A and B are shown apart, each in its own frame.
Chain A
């Protein structure tokens, strides 16, 4: 018994080490004054300075954040309205059909989403660049929001709405005072996920971005193809901190709303 628990600890520790090594490896060498990722010369902030001095990179960073925020907001709006629509749908068959179509973009490989959106934008005549990237990020985030919001709507008892209506609430009141507050955790979770999906996306963006517009992932890809520059390392250090803050934020938002009893019951 004791031996197996020791083994399990060693195994878990090993997995954690492997998972985190590349990340800390990147961050470690971001402070290297030498130009490579293999020999550490001396400590320096020059690569971080280089990130902030590179106006093009800063612009790309701002672009990435703007696309992420806008696409998360808009996809959350569409997704929440869609989820409410699905819940109100009484016909089981059409409901299931909608749900399976909803999942198409979630399970589709990025390459296919990217390639098919490229065709779509070219056919419709959307200029490749900011608009096409934003639209595709909204498009692939909507189903994620729906998936995050639906369970909350399903667990909401319909008597709540009936009660509100009986008490004279208007439809708008029902939405803004009963439904939305109830599903708030789901909405936040959906928004956060959409945000991170957008920040993280490479393949789709790579297809639908034109010459003039770039996001961070696409930029890192072209930098990495050109060879090792420690500017990427510095960038990864900054991104790691941002990601960590986002994850912690997400964790607290979703956990705060959990039933406090659960933590007491579950072992």
Chain B
């Protein structure tokens, strides 16, 4: 008995942290979403959310997030795959990870210079005779920079699942006469689906909520759910509406987590294809 109380004593600061910074903030966001600008209790924010302005914004936010995730996956999967084939793969992986540790703002800032009207890309265009193009403040620059930022976060989980994969299964597939492509689609990809799922989680949810890249690179043309929340909280000071968008973002997040959720039932389920 004495032992038990002593042990649960360890949980006191941790549970205190949890109540204050996990549960209380969520409760407060939901609570604030129920108040209009004048502090009156109402569902007006929720009504507003279902008007075309916010629905369009939500849809475009999802579309951008989808594009960013898709491009990131297409670039990251082969990278992760070939990384596992290199000799000093842990070292190469570390080199892939290092850029993700460089301050996000700095990397974004670099693209202001690179994509600028007199930046190197436009200088190249000029010498090629294409002529100067507006690259900054376009959808392209927004998606490019976001994909750039997220690539390491997609590579890491895919690399890990590829690395854990049992290679005799590939040999078996080869022995049984399957082509390289069949081996990939029927054996390798299904075996690494969990890595892909965690990669998608790590990219899609942040993509919905980016706001500094939209401000710096997309020049306020792209508005994601994150941009809208920042706008409502810090510019318009409409915490109620901001909280409402936050509530929906949390809901979307939960849905995505469930969709890309993994059942951890040992190694067997890894190979299962539904």
Residues of A within 8 A of B (CB): 5, 8-9, 11-12, 15-16, 18-23, 25-26, 29, 36-39, 78-79, 81-82, 84-86, 88-89, 98, 101-102, 104-105, 107-113, 115-120, 123, 136, 139-140, 142, 146, 171, 196, 199-200, 202-203, 206-207, 216-217, 220-221, 224-225, 228, 232, 235-236, 239-240, 243-244, 246-247, 251
Contacts and interface: CB of A to CB of B under 8 A. Distances in A.
B100 to A, nearest CB: 9
Interface string B72-101: 000100110011011000001011111101
Nearest to B113: A37
B107 A22 contact: yes
A56 to B, nearest CB: 17
Contacts of B25: 113, 116-117, 119-120
Given A108-B253, A112-B246, A239-B106, A142 B119 contact: no
A119 B98 contact: no
B101 A243 contact: yes
B14 interface: yes
Most buried by A among B105, B208, B243, B249: B105
Given A112-B229, A115-B242, A217-B105, A22 B111 contact: yes
Q: Chain B contact residues (Cβ within 8 angstroms of A): what range?
A: 35 or more
A162 to B, nearest CB: 12
Nearest to A24: B110
Contacts of A25: 110, 113-114, 120
Contacts of B209: 109-112
Contacts of B96: 15-16, 19
Interface string B58-83: 00000000000000000100110011
Contact of A15 (B10, B79, B103, B212): B79
A12 B83 contact: yes
Contacts of B101: 196, 200, 243, 246-247
B238 to A, nearest CB: 12
Interface in B236-263: 239, 242-243, 246, 249-250, 253, 257
A221 B148 contact: no
A39 B119 CA distance: 9
Nearest to B81: A8
Contact of B109 (A82, A139, A220): A220
